[in-house]
């Protein structure tokens, strides 16, 4: 997403000083985040990722929305704020959409998330990781999870995929900076903004518009120019 710096000439010296003071006051200040006691049914926010590996090369910002059970939406933007690609998760299927080309690919949710972040995570597990509520995953999840000295989930591993929380938001163990790794892949994701339990928006997960798009294989998607 593009941000345009105000011109010093238009703001004037007092405006510039005021802007710098505001930026200085906000620098490094993170909000206090505490998951609601009634439970986390959905998370919504904005993040950035830098991943590199055999099957994935991602660097940029994206908006995300995950809602139980099994729903998700990730929208990546280019430097001038246009949608570069869109991922929609609907329980057992996921769709990688390139609006500018009117094409899409269909995959299993874990496969598509691995191609995006290098780690195999279905939407509900992504929700748990982002909200810091990994403890409710249950023993059947297959993850081996470790806590830090304050009882916060700090790292986890399953079948060669791993995450490590490098930094938390102030509050109750909500991750802010997460290291991710998988076979031949590594990188990190930073959560820039996060909210709990936003109002339901079923339209965010609607895929009926894909009737006007062309289905492609993943290999064909990778061959698209300037996707």
Question: Residue 189: which of 124, 99, 113, 104 has the closest Cα?
Answer: 113
Please report whether residue 144 resides in a domain.
yes
- Domain holding 192, by residue range, is 42-222
- Whether residue 153 contacts residue 137, with contact meaning beta carbons closer than 8 Å, is answered with no
Give residue 118's pLDDT. Answer: 83
Average pLDDT over residues 121-146: 82
Strand 214-215 versus strand 103-107 pairing type = parallel
Nearest CA-CA partner of 201 in 75, 100, 76: 75
Residues 6+ apart with CB under 8 A from 83: 75, 76, 77, 99, 100
Question: Taking 80 as the threshold, does the pLDDT of residue 51 lie above it?
Answer: yes
Q: Does 142 fall in a domain?
A: yes
What was the pLDDT predicted at 226?
65
Of 142, 173, 177, whose CA–CA distance to 163 is shortest? 177
Q: Has residue 9 got a pLDDT over 50? A: no
Q: What is the pLDDT of residue 223?
A: 87
Residue 57 has pLDDT above 90, yes or no: no
Residue 65, pLDDT score? 97
In a domain, 204, yes or no: yes
**205, pLDDT greater than 90:** yes
Q: Is residue 87 helix, strand or coil? A: strand
Q: Where are the beta strands (DSSP E) in the chain?
A: 42-53, 57-67, 71-77, 83-90, 93-98, 103-107, 144-147, 153-158, 161-168, 175-182, 185-196, 214-215
Distance (Å, whole) CA 121 – CA 109: 8
Segment 130-158 mean pLDDT = 83
CATH label of the domain that carries residue 190: 2.50.20.10
Q: Does any domain span residue 116? A: yes
* Cα gap 68→78, rounded to integer Å: 28
pLDDT band at 7 (very low <50, low <70, confident <90, very high): very low
Distance CA(22)–CA(27), nearest Å, equals 9
The pLDDT of residue 168: 95
Number of folded domains in the chain? 1
> What proportion of the chain, given as a percentage, has pLDDT over 90?
54
Query: What percent of the chain is predicted at pLDDT more than 70?
Result: 82
Query: What does the pLDDT average to over 74-94?
Result: 90
What are all long-range contacts of 156-162, with beta carbons under 8 Å and residues at least 24 apart? 158/120, 159/120, 161/114, 161/119, 161/120, 161/121, 162/119
- Within a domain: 10: no
Residues 62-77, mean pLDDT to the nearest whole number: 94
Look at residue 105 and tell me if it is in a domain.
yes
DSSP state of 171: B
- Kindly tell me if the per-residue pLDDT of 12 is higher than 70: no
Closest CA to 87 of 57, 54, 122: 122
Quick check: is 143 in a domain?
yes
């Amino acid at each position: 997403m593009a941000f345009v710096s105000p011109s010093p000439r238009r703001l004037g010296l007092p405006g510039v000083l005021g802007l710098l003071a505001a930026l200085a006051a906000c620098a490094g200040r993170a909000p206090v985040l505490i998951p609601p006691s009634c439970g986390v049914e959905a998370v919504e926010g904005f993040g950035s990722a830098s991943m590199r590996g055999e099957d994935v090369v991602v660097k940029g910002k994206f908006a995300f929305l995950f809602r139980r059970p099994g729903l998700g939406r990730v929208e990546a933007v280019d430097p001038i704020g246009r949608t570069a690609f869109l991922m929609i998760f609907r329980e057992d299927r996921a769709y990688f959409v390139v609006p500018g080309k009117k094409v899409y690919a269909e995959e299993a949710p874990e496969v598509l998330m691995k191609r995006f972040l290098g780690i195999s995570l279905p939407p509900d597990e992504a929700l748990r990781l982002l909200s810091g509520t990994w403890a409710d995953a249950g023993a059947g999840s297959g993850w081996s999870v470790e806590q830090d000295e304050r009882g916060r989930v700090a790292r986890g591993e399953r079948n060669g995929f791993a995450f490590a929380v490098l930094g938390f938001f102030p509050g109750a163990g909500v991750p802010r900076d997460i290291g991710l790794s998988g076979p031949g892949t590594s990188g990190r994701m930073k959560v820039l903004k996060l909210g709990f339990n936003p109002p339901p928006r079923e339209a965010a997960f609607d895929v009926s518009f894909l009737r006007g798009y062309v289905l492609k294989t993943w290999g064909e998607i990778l061959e698209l120019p300037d996707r």
